[in-house]
């Protein structure tokens, strides 16, 4: 073999080796990047309290219900989403004998719970079936009825776990400087004329009471809200509905905050089951100023759609 041919062969081998090394390095980098992205997407709440997932259409998903301080208790839920809504089939066992019932809630990405219904316990066992229009939620069982938000004061008996292969939906709430969660804000058309409350003039040392006047088919329903501005720029809001039996049944009463630039924030909702005299919504917002109003919705919504609404006015 001539020296020229030898050099040509050697050079070709070196080029092939270099190309192979470059391809391997690129593949390694690509794999590492993919792994990092996947881990970032699924890590939301290390303590497991936030387990909202999106349920696919036409596929039954089995979700384990994790008991909270209930030795020997077990639970699962089969969830099937269709074009007509999402069905949930609950199955519990090993529940303490003295327990007679729980209340099941579907909690959406913004942390707003929707009551699915009661779970009746007999001899430590229960089977229940529910339907919800939601497609992204976690399931929470509590002994408390009428829960409007889950915080450290609300007992939780079971909470859905994240099934294998599913990523947690990013939470729809953001944090203020103090680490408190506030509601999400959505911009829609200028449908409602809501006066601002001039929150800056409220006394930060006590709750400020504002009232709402209901009209039309809501005549007789009474409502008050108590606002507590804090030093870190967050306003805590507590709204109470009285005489709920005077209002239409099986409707969702949704409390909204309206910002000066026409954006609406869903603060919470209650469902009138016709059995309660009173209901309460607790929430907070980081808006510097806002108005408050209520809509009456037939289903769970992320923006106000009802024509029936009433605005709040400051008590003289």
What's the CATH code of the domain at 64?
Answer: 2.60.40.200
Q: How far apart are CA 286 and CA 199, in angstroms?
A: 11
Residue 233 Ramachandran class (φ > 0 left, ψ -120 to 50 alpha, else beta): left
Are 206 and 144 part of one and the same domain? Answer: no
Are 196 and 307 part of one and the same domain? Answer: yes
What is the dihedral sign for C-alpha 191, 194, 198, 203?
A: negative
The whole-model pTM stands at 0.47
Are 125 and 210 part of one and the same domain? Answer: no
176, 90 contact by CB (below 8 A): no
User: 35 in a domain, yes or no?
Assistant: no
Q: How far apart are CA 156 and CA 302, in angstroms?
A: 25
Return the pLDDT at 156.
95
295, 256 contact by CB (below 8 A): yes
Are 121 and 236 part of one and the same domain? Answer: no
Residue 102 lies in domain: 53-160
Are 184 and 126 part of one and the same domain? Answer: no
What's the CATH code of the domain at 249?
Answer: 2.60.40
Q: Domain total for the chain?
A: 2
Tell which wins on pLDDT, 251 or 36: 251
Return the pLDDT at 191.
58
Q: How far apart are CA 66 and CA 73, in angstroms?
A: 9
Are 296 and 256 part of one and the same domain? Answer: yes
Are 182 and 277 part of one and the same domain? Answer: yes
Are 148 and 181 part of one and the same domain? Answer: no
Are 203 and 256 part of one and the same domain? Answer: yes
Dihedral (Cα; 126, 131, 132, 138), 10-degree rounding:
30
pLDDT tier, 120 (very low <50, low <70, confident <90, very high otherwise):
very high
Tokens of 97: 């004998």
138: part of which helix (H) or strand (E)?
A: strand 136-142
Q: Report pLDDT digits (tens) over 129-148.
A: 999 888 889 999 999 988 88
User: 165 in a domain, yes or no?
Assistant: no
Q: How far apart are CA 228 and CA 230, in angstroms?
A: 6
Residue 160 φ/ψ, nearest 5 degrees: -65, 140
Alpha helices in the chain (DSSP H): 3-42
Are 298 and 207 part of one and the same domain? Answer: yes
Are 309 and 261 part of one and the same domain? Answer: yes
Return the pLDDT at 61.
95
Q: Report pLDDT digits (tens) over 63-73.
A: 999 999 999 99
User: 219 in a domain, yes or no?
Assistant: yes
Q: How far apart are CA 229 and CA 286, in angstroms?
A: 9
Return the pLDDT at 158.
96
Q: How far apart are CA 9 and CA 307, in angstroms?
A: 81
Quote the percentage of the chain above a pLDDT of 70.
74
3-state class (DSSP) for residue 267: strand
294, 309 contact by CB (below 8 A): yes
User: 13 in a domain, yes or no?
Assistant: no
User: 305 in a domain, yes or no?
Assistant: yes
Instruction: Inform me whether the pLDDT recorded for 194 exceeds 70.
Output: yes
User: 71 in a domain, yes or no?
Assistant: yes
User: 278 in a domain, yes or no?
Assistant: yes
Tokens of 115: 């009551």
């Amino acid at each position: 073999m001539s020296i020229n041919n030898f050099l040509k062969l050697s050079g070709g081998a070196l080029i092939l080796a270099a190309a192979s090394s470059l391809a391997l390095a690129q593949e390694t980098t690509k794999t590492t990047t993919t792994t990092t992205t996947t881990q970032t997407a699924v890590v939301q709440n290390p303590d497991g309290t936030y387990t909202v997932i999106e349920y696919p259409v036409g596929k039954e998903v089995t979700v384990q219900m994790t008991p909270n301080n209930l030795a020997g208790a077990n639970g699962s839920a089969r969830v099937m989403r269709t074009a007509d809504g999402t069905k949930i089939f609950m199955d519990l066992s090993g529940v303490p004998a003295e327990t007679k019932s729980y209340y099941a809630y579907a909690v959406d990405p913004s942390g707003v719970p929707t009551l699915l219904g009661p779970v009746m316990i007999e001899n430590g066992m229960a089977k229940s079936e529910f339907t919800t229009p939601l497609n992204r939620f976690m399931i929470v069982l509590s002994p408390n009825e009428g829960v409007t938000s889950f915080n450290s004061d609300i007992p939780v008996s079971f909470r859905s776990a994240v099934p294998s292969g599913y990523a947690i939906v990013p939470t729809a709430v953001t944090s203020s400087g103090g680490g408190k969660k506030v509601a999400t804000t959505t911009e829609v058309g200028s449908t409602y004329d809501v006066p601002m409350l001039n929150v800056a003039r409220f006394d930060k040392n006590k709750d400020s009471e504002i009232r709402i006047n209901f009209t039309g088919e809501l005549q007789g329903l009474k409502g008050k809200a108590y606002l507590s501005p804090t030093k870190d720029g967050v306003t805590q809001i507590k709204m109470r509905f009285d005489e709920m039996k005077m209002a239409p049944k099986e409707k969702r009463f949704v409390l909204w905050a309206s910002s000066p630039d026409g954006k609406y924030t869903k603060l919470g909702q209650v469902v009138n089951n016709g059995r309660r005299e009173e209901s309460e919504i607790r929430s907070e917002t980081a808006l510097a100023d806002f108005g408050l109003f209520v809509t009456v919705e037939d289903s769970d919504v992320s923006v106000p759609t009802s024509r029936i609404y009433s605005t709040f006015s400051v008590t003289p």
